[in-house]
Structure 1
Amino acid sequence: MTSLSKTILLVDDDQEIRDLLNTYLSRAGFTVRAVGDGLGFRASLALEPADLVILDVQLPDEDGFSLCRWVRQHPRFAHVPIIMLTASSDEADRVIGLELGADDYLGKPFSPRELQARIKALLRRAQFGQERPVSDVLAFDDWRLDQVSHRLFHLDGEEVFLSGADFALLKLFLDHPQQILDRDTIGNATRGRDLMPLDRIVDMAVSRLRQRLRDTGKAPRLIRTVRGSGYLLAASVTPHLGNAV
């Protein structure tokens, strides 16, 4: 995958950081749009889509968490990968960002080279998710997953928009139904980082996906915990002809 023609929307109130990353990422072949607050971010994304968002947590008018939530709830942007930047060393910030649907996070100060590597990894994953599958729609339990739009549909008509990380994890389970997936395998799919214990990353990702699938009882029915081993999707998966709904 080449970075050419890939557009990055950078949101940070620090002018020096915006100038630095604009220069660095532009030299790497990306098209960069940079804004300094939440209002500018909403306007820029509504005006023109982006392939990836770099979102600072602390902004003058609106925090990055609420903006991340807004992106994930918006049908047009729900699939866009988000990297959150945080100046706080508090693990709670990273947990909140991941729970809201951020795909990755990076603490300040950071290396532009490391940021570029994470950008490329997320764009590769997004491109892989957009490759046309043999069947556009997969059926499992009472759900239908549209693999092209990354939208999830329940038989009762509810439509769920998945983040990139949610889609990657669900697709992993659907590709391996009735099989135990260990934490290392799931961690690779959800892009866990060594800044947080792998088990915590995996458990959070699975918990978030269970919420999407209404599988939140004391004994989850769809995604089951196999103690000491990992998780298992307890459902048959079949190609679904026609639309997801």
Structure 2
Amino acid sequence: MSKKNYRGGQFEQTYEGHLQSICRENEKINEQQVRAAVSGFDSLGAGILHTQPLFYAIDYTQASYRLMTSATRELVGEPSEAFLEGGIPKLLDIYHPEDFKVYNEHVFSTNMAFLRSQPVEDHHRFVFSYNFRVRHRSGRYIPIYQRGSYLTSPDTGLPLYSIGMVMNITPFKKDFLMHHTIEKTSTAGCDLLEAHTYYPREEDRLLSVREQQILQYMADGWCSKQIADRLNIAENTIANHRKNMLKKTSTKNVAELVAFACKRGLI
């Protein structure tokens, strides 16, 4: 049975649930469609000098890779054949457990809810991006960034294939937050439609002692300069703390941030 969570008045499908249900479908995407979709991602890799992008095509109906380029060796220290033979189970084996939980329960279900709100004939125009960690053959986890699109069933709108690219973002990623975006492609480029931030580690969501201290001063009506002078730190540091607190709490301004903190007893 497909695994779904009931949230916000509707069922949200997990990634694992989709794999279990779609594998019984007889629908197929034309091979030419797959190759055309993959070639469309070539331009996304242009100008990336620090790493070689990896291109892939996943067949959900078979839980397998139809395409995996040789950059897997540079990315995780294993040949592409390991994934072509091992399929999605091979990917799940190296996926960081904390990050997969977020992808399975939140990222994928958000993507599916979005696709359900759009005409099936437009599905190929949307690009879904997010970052996560995978285990290198050496045992260490490395952060990667994935951009891809779905080829969906014309009848159900459910993904039959996932096509896209992956790259190593170690030089740019120093935290554990997962960022997830949905864009729509056009002749002018990509338009951002949705952006989400997730915290695989619950402790990363909580405010630090310093952040709570600064937030208490904010709640008391102190300005950034006054707080900086009191704590003997730079005013820019206060601004950075404020920005991080807004991101952690998914609030839009200081008023919402203070309300959030008061409601949860943080200050």
TM-score (normalised: structure 1): 0.30
TM-score (normalised: structure 2): 0.28
Higher strand share: 2
